[in-house]
Structure 1
Amino acid sequence: MRKLPLLITTGEPAGIGMDVVLLLAEEGKLQDFDRPIWVTAEAEAMQARADKLLAAGVLSRCPSWQTVAAEGNTKLDTEELIAQIAQQPTTDSAFILLDIACGAPVVAGQIDINNAIMVARQLEIAHQLAINNTVAAIVTGPLQKSALIDAGIKLLDGTMFSGHTEFFMQQSGCDKVVMMLANQSMKVALVTTHLALKDVPAAITSQNVRQTVQIVLDDMRTKFGLAAPRILVCGLNPHAGEGGHLGMEEIEIINPVLQEFIAAGVNISQAMPADTLFTPRHLAECDAVIAMFHDQGLPVLKSHGFGDTVNLTLGLPYIRTSVDHGTALDLAGGVGASSTSLYQALVMADEMANKALALH
């Protein structure tokens, strides 16, 4: 059976999204996957970035790719796009470039909000290709949220653009998704994400905890191939509340929900103190950790492998992984960008797609 492609969105054209794709292409690493690689970017900007990296000595040769127009005057026609790609001659090209025009000339390192529509269009196309099962997974490069907000780009519900996660969640009609970061040391999912610390306790509700646990369990089974995943859960408060002396959330909210899953036969802990949960003895006995808030779980994870960490969105009807770095405008078109995170995001997307295929 021919495997479906992995789709990379390069994101903000002024950032390093195109750079890291070109680095992997030159190194021959895009051929490591038994799948076609599709990439969204503007063709003219991609060539200009390759020329700039060649001049800077970052690339020793220009990788080859095949360009296909992703859209004309109408929205993407998936069948027409597939037909166009099928008509391409067989070559040693590293990837298929889905050409999406920018609104203004791209200058490495310099944000132009006139290109924000093109950035959003990449995500719309990626969603459409994934929801139609045309691609096996989406692997997202970095975007500049402030540029999309300044350009007036909105989510489906009319609120300001707040990120990839919220975009794909709303496009897919999901009520909730879960952010997970993963590397070779551990996998950490979050009950709350980008909230001020003072707002976190109010967001730790029974429904939020229950939905998070269920999504993690479902995706560990369907996307990681684990029939009986082992989950450890952090408490919200120091010492998991110290029996109520340091907070009541564990007693009143978190543990009653976790007990429901335990009673149903799920291999999940009750709320544990985060400072002891994240020790080798406990991590060796679990497949994933659920943390209550962003800076409870992610600093530990990133201290064990920042460069190879991958961001995943659980709960979507398709696979989405991402790099764990930003646009790095100061590195675009020059020396210093690393392709490690993009490669690891591709590896994880490929592994998850293979496991999903095996289950079906």
Structure 2
Amino acid sequence: MIEIDADTGLSCVHDVYTRALPVLSGLRLAAPAIPGHPDPANAPAVIAAIETAVRLAQSGAVSAIVTSPISKAVLKAAGFPHPGHTEFLAALTGTSGGEVMMLAGPDLRVVLATVHLPLRRAIETLDTDTIIRTGRITAAALARDFAIASPRIAVAGLNPHAGEAGHLGSEEADIVAPAIAALRAEGIDATGPHPPDTLFTATARARYDAALCLYHDQGLIPLKTLDVANSVNVTLGLPIVRTSPDHGTAFDIAGRGIADPSSLIAALRLAATMAARRQS
């Protein structure tokens, strides 16, 4: 393990990986790190670490970014203006509005049309253009980063039974179906709106490469139920590769030596695969 100055030693990072794990110096914490007890005083160092990682990726010094979980509440207490990593990375790379959150596991990939919003707000903000944008970015990423030549996207409905022909809600006819029609007109294999309660069975999952879900828990509950340990958070739509474990900070077990590293390992492997595909 060797230290490299984050500002002056970036050019040698590539060579270091063949013989050691590089640790960038210069990013110091303002307060002691106490497991399970985050301190808002350290928020600037966390933000600076993310900014440094993006700068390295943009310069080509590294091929991908794998982030660990951050405490959004702690960063918010220090004045952080973004909902989370995804939106911050989009702002840093100049792609705000073009980012899409994907959770990818061994048996299921989901993408979210709305992300970190209260459920009521997510439903209020959902519109046809958002679903179209999410579908386009997802289809492009599945082809480029996952090597799927003809991506299939299943779009979930919002209401029980996908609205039951309007008897349980009109959002499917008014918002979701027009988006699917627009995606199909562009040559994207999008289907739906599918009843959410049957979209994630083993039989249904065999028919698509990613499920486009309309709000956070609609996609994350089935994915994490199937395999939380080996699922990965991927930010689509960025000019750089970024992955992350699909779990949170787990402050309740910090420092006890019982955390499961599987999702972080899966994130590292997927980042390497995606980076290799972009460079090929």
8 A Cα contact 2:155 2:193, kept in partner: yes
1:188-337 matched pairs, under 5 angstroms: 188-337=110-259
8 A Cα contact 1:231 1:269, kept in partner: yes
Instruction: Quote the residue 2:50 is aligned against.
Output: 123
Rounded to whole Å, the distance in 1 between the matches of 2:213 and 2:111 is 6
- Summarize the Cα distance change of 1:238–1:311 in structure 2 as closer, same or farther, 3 Å threshold: same
Rounded to whole Å, the distance in 2 between the matches of 1:261 and 1:251 is 15
1:148-227 matched pairs, under 5 angstroms: 148-152=75-79, 154=80, 160-174=81-95, 175-227=97-149
Rounded to whole Å, the distance in 1 between the matches of 2:17 and 2:134 is 46
Q: Does 1:107 align with 2:34?
A: yes
Rounded to whole Å, the distance in 2 between the matches of 1:281 and 1:164 is 33
Is the partner of 2:103 in helix, strand or coil? strand
Rounded to whole Å, the distance in 2 between the matches of 1:234 and 1:143 is 29
Rounded to whole Å, the distance in 2 between the matches of 1:347 and 1:88 is 19
215-224 or 105-114, which deviates more:
105-114
Task: State the Cα distance separating 1:212 from its structure 2 match.
Answer: 0.6
Letter in 2 for 1:207: D
Instruction: Quote the residue 2:22 is aligned against.
Output: 96
- Summarize the Cα distance change of 1:132–1:190 in structure 2 as closer, same or farther, 3 Å threshold: same
8 A Cα contact 1:225 1:356, kept in partner: no
Rounded to whole Å, the distance in 2 between the matches of 1:201 and 1:147 is 27
Q: Give the paired residue count.
A: 278
CA offsets 1:134-181 (integer angstroms, 9 cap, x no match): 2111100011112212222x3xxxxx2321011001111222311111
Which runs of 5 or more structure 1 residues have no equivalent in the other structure?
Answer: 1-64, 71-75, 155-159
Query: So what's the TM-score if we normalise by structure 1?
Result: 0.73
Task: State the Cα distance separating 1:119 from its structure 2 match.
Answer: 0.4
Task: State the Cα distance separating 1:86 from its structure 2 match.
Answer: 6.7
Q: Does 1:342 align with 2:278?
A: no
Rounded to whole Å, the distance in 2 between the matches of 1:116 and 1:133 is 26
Task: State the Cα distance separating 1:337 from its structure 2 match.
Answer: 1.4
Which runs of 5 or more structure 2 residues have no equivalent in the other structure?
Answer: none
Rounded to whole Å, the distance in 1 between the matches of 2:274 and 2:256 is 33
Task: State the Cα distance separating 1:306 from its structure 2 match.
Answer: 0.9
- Summarize the Cα distance change of 1:89–1:184 in structure 2 as closer, same or farther, 3 Å threshold: closer
Query: What percent of counterpart residues are identical?
Result: 40
Rounded to whole Å, the distance in 2 between the matches of 1:193 and 1:135 is 28
Task: State the Cα distance separating 1:230 from its structure 2 match.
Answer: 1.0
- The CA RMSD over aligned residues, in Å, is 1.8
Task: State the Cα distance separating 1:132 from its structure 2 match.
Answer: 2.1
Task: State the Cα distance separating 1:123 from its structure 2 match.
Answer: 0.6
Rounded to whole Å, the distance in 2 between the matches of 1:90 and 1:311 is 27
Task: State the Cα distance separating 1:102 from its structure 2 match.
Answer: 1.3
Letter in 2 for 1:68: I
8 A Cα contact 2:113 2:215, kept in partner: yes
Q: Does 1:81 align with 2:10?
A: yes
Is the partner of 2:228 in helix, strand or coil? coil
338-347 or 106-115, which deviates more:
106-115
Rounded to whole Å, the distance in 2 between the matches of 1:214 and 1:125 is 29
Q: Which has the larger radius of gyration?
A: 1
Query: So what's the TM-score if we normalise by structure 2?
Result: 0.93
8 A Cα contact 2:157 2:172, kept in partner: yes
- Summarize the Cα distance change of 1:261–1:89 in structure 2 as closer, same or farther, 3 Å threshold: closer
Is the partner of 1:247 in helix, strand or coil? coil
CA offsets 1:57-90 (integer angstroms, 9 cap, x no match): xxxxxxxx111222xxxxx35xx4224x478697
Rounded to whole Å, the distance in 1 between the matches of 2:38 and 2:224 is 28
Rounded to whole Å, the distance in 2 between the matches of 1:87 and 1:66 is 12
- Summarize the Cα distance change of 1:311–1:252 in structure 2 as closer, same or farther, 3 Å threshold: same
